[in-house]
Amino acid sequence: MLSQKMIDKINEQIKNELYSGHLYLSMAAYCSSQDLDGFANFFVVQEQEERYHAMKFYHYLVEQGADVKIYGLDQPKQDFKSVEEVFQLAYEHEQKVTGLINDLMELAVQDKDYATQSFLNWYIDEQVEEEASMQSILKKLQMVGVKGHGLLMLDSQLGARSFTPPSKEE
């Protein structure tokens, strides 16, 4: 059985995941405005992943017989100086999300809530991947710069990304 504090924190995390999606759509819009359609696609797919993450929390609460609360979202940043800044902010945002997931795990451990610990392990692993992805792209952008052939090649690579929901076993 989930503690009320855990229910509240998971409901807050649903909001955080949905906010992440809004932030990534804002980043996609910036990339589109710069004619970097591959980068825009990367962030559109990222938004789909964040919505999936939010819904995974949603369904967990429902399965546990807890009340789901849907909260309003803050306005995401919309003005960016460069695609490099976008990825720097995205990387920092993923680090923040990792901290929030770790806080949930810490509460689950304190509550001796083994079901939630098991559930959160997926997110712990996912956040390692999310941070690594943002950091890798950021490093590549720093290598190639914000203009030229390298940027266009990276844009082309990111344009091939698509969203595939994880299988039930994951």
Q: Tell me whether residue 100 is in a domain.
A: yes
Domain that holds residue 63: 4-70+78-158
Give 80's contacts (C-beta < 8 A, 6+ positions apart): 27, 30, 86, 89
Give 36's contacts (C-beta < 8 A, 6+ positions apart): 83, 151, 155
Structural domains of the chain, count: 1
Q: Tell me whether residue 168 is in a domain.
A: no
**Which CATH number fits the domain that encloses residue 15?**
1.20.1260.10
Q: Tell me whether residue 170 is in a domain.
A: no
CA distances (Å), origin 58, targets 17, 54, 61, 63, 163:
11, 6, 5, 9, 20
Q: Tell me whether residue 23 is in a domain.
A: yes
At 165, give phi and psi (nearest 5°).
Answer: -60, 140
pLDDT in 10s for each residue of the chain, 170 residues = 899 999 999 999 999 999 999 999 999 999 999 999 999 999 999 999 999 999 999 999 999 999 999 999 999 999 999 999 999 999 999 999 999 999 999 999 999 999 999 999 999 999 999 999 999 999 999 999 877 888 899 999 998 888 887 776 55
